[in-house]
Structure 1
Amino acid sequence: MTQSNEHPRCILALDLGTTTGWALRSHDGLITSGTASFRPGRYDGGGMRYLRFTNWLTELDRLSGPIAAIWFEEVRRHAGTDAAHVYGGLMASLTSWGELRGIPYEGVPVGTIKRHATGKGNAPKQAMIDAARAKGFSPEDDNEADAIAILLWALDARGCAA
């Protein structure tokens, strides 16, 4: 996923969950990050969180894109069944959204991200936050810190710098 022209491509990194961390490297090279909540409302149907997530991706693509590639944290084990269901639903929404638009996407194993950011594949949440801060970012939580780490990994390890 490299590019030969002098303008960087828009790259999106995501830490999928009810509170999704995101980091985006725009065409001008500026990196922005944050979190987005997809917690269901009291009267929401079961699919509303996924519809809101899809709409959020579309708006992000419209305002900051076009998004050229998406990297996300690939989680293989979850602490609970609900977390696993939410992750699976968000990943299905993300991958179908990417497929519809021809945007390549790839999961990055948790250990790979943690090792790249901290040197330890099993680094705790605070270490990820500290690593992002050491690089000059100000993540509000571990979700945003993880998204920043995924983006920095993609830029370093996958040659997405161009």
Structure 2
Amino acid sequence: MSAEPARTILALDLGTTTGWAIRGFDGLITSGTVSFKPGRYDGGGMRYLRFTNWLSEIDRLSGPVEAIYFEEVRRHAGTDAAHVYGGLMATLETWAELRGVPYQGVPVGTIKRHATGHGNANKQAMIDAAHKRGFSPTDDNEADAIAILLWAIETQGGLA
């Protein structure tokens, strides 16, 4: 009797520098960051088109993605950050809806509490928590994505 393969889960910390973590069907976790900073001559929608293409490439190479979790931010440092987050979130939700992939936002406090025991943990505490779990994130965006993925795996994340 063989064990079922793990579900492929993608976790995202959305932003101009998006942190990502994915558990593949083989159970292995990989993570990183990707920049959606617009180029000098890019139109306003290019960052979202690049994000769509990136999601499709992740799905093709590591998927099929069976569930997506993302950090649900309620307050932003500024207007530009809020606009970028909203655009990325809308793009993600559209991409997922078109493919029938369930997705769920996870409140910031829930992620921080699960990773560190404190709902108001700072960026360094999130990086330290990832290190304690055996990961080597390059920055807080990747650390947050790892924390979201571990939360989803360890709590079943609400998506059955």
Q: TM-score, normalised by structure 2?
A: 0.96
Are residues 159 and 53 of structure 1, via their aligned partners in 2, closer, same or farther at CA, if it must alter by over 3 Å? Answer: closer
SS in 1 for 2:66: strand
Q: Aligned equivalents of 1:29 and 1:71: distance in 2?
A: 17
Count matched residues.
157
Q: Which residue of 2 aligns with 1:95?
A: 93
- Counterpart pick for 1:150 among 122, 132, 148: 148
Say yes or no: does 1:14 pair with 2:12.
yes
Q: Which residue of 2 aligns with 1:53?
A: 51
SS in 2 for 1:158: helix
Q: Which residue of 2 aligns with 1:40?
A: 38
Give deviations 1:57-114, integer Å, cap 9, x for gaps: 0000000000000000000000100000000000000000000000000000000000
Are residues 63 and 114 of structure 1, via their aligned partners in 2, closer, same or farther at CA, if it must alter by over 3 Å? Answer: same
Q: Which residue of 2 aligns with 1:124?
A: 122
Q: Which residue of 2 aligns with 1:113?
A: 111
Runs of 4+ in 1 over 2 A off after TM superposition: none
- Counterpart pick for 1:79 among 72, 77, 80: 77
Q: What amino acid sits opposite 1:138 in the alignment? A: S
Q: How does 1:56-71 map to 2 (within 5 A)?
A: 56-71=54-69
Q: Aligned equivalents of 2:120 and 2:157: distance in 1?
A: 24
Deviation at 1:130, TM superposition (A): 0.2
Q: Aligned equivalents of 1:40 and 1:49: distance in 2?
A: 6
SS in 1 for 2:119: coil
Q: Aligned equivalents of 1:19 and 1:159: distance in 2?
A: 24
Are residues 159 and 47 of structure 1, via their aligned partners in 2, closer, same or farther at CA, if it must alter by over 3 Å? Answer: closer
Q: Which residue of 1 aligns with 2:26?
A: 28
Q: What amino acid sits opposite 1:97 in the alignment? A: W
Q: Which residue of 2 aligns with 1:135?
A: 133
Q: TM-score, normalised by structure 1?
A: 0.95
Instruction: Give the unaligned 5+ runs of structure 1.
Output: none
SS in 2 for 1:152: helix
Deviation at 1:42, TM superposition (A): 0.1
